[in-house]
Structure 1
Amino acid sequence: MMIVTTDQVAGSEITEVKGYVKGSTIQTKHIGRDITAGLKGLVGGEIKGYNEMMTEARKLAVHRMVQEAEAKGANAIVGMRMQTSTVMSNAAEIIAYGTAVIIK
């Protein structure tokens, strides 16, 4: 599955638009990560536990978006974007979205 952030795929022609697709997940903080984050807040530095959590969340959101595009018969997604928002205390949603298309 080709995924691009642009509205076109260079060297290809969009022959059919299948529509909007998205994938999302909600991740919560782990108590161990919270303790580490608190300590890092005092001394500075990268919070690797959170970084790993968010990397996995992004992968899952994109995977779910691709599944939705495949179910519509698409072979590419154009205009892909990602957003995050706080859903509740200590929980964040990651959403990946774009337009499912067929390219030649």
Structure 2
Amino acid sequence: MLVTTTERVEGYQVKRIMGQVFGVVVRSRSIVGNVAAGLRSLAGGEITEYTRLVEDTRRHAIDRMVENARVVGGNAVVMMRFDSSEMGQTMSEVVAYGTAVVLDPPPPE
């Protein structure tokens, strides 16, 4: 399924707007991950434990959003965005959201 942050997809026509769709993931960081990340933060630089967690969580949120777009009959999601928030001190929420649409393919040349 096509997922884009733009409103239009060059060469395609929006045949139907199916509505807003989203995918939500809430993840907690383990004690071991927190300790490892805390030690790494003392030295400075990237905290790879958290980078992987954030990347995986965003991919999972997109997968859920895509599934919800399929459920409502869409074949693409336009205007996709992310939002995130902290829930307590060890949990974070990531939401991927956009508009599910049905795109007509470009005409043959």
TM-score range, shorter chain: over 0.9
Structure 1 residues 30-66: Cα deviation after superposition (integer angstroms, max 9, x where no partner): 1111111111221112111111111111111000000
Give the TM-score taking structure 1 as reference length. 0.96
SS at match of 1:100: strand
SS at match of 2:11: coil
Deviation of 1:6 (Å): 0.5
CA distance in 2, matches of 1:52, 1:42: 19
Structure 1 unaligned spans of 5+: none
Structure-1 residue corresponding to 2:6: 6
1:32-71, aligned counterparts within 5 Å? 32-71=32-71
**Structure having the higher Rg:** 2
Aligned-pair RMSD on alpha carbons?
0.8
CA distance in 1, matches of 2:68, 2:42: 42
Aligned residues: 104
Task: Give % identity.
Answer: 37
Give the TM-score taking structure 2 as reference length. 0.91
Structure 2 unaligned spans of 5+: 105-109
Between stretches 15-24 and 31-40, larger displacement belongs to 31-40
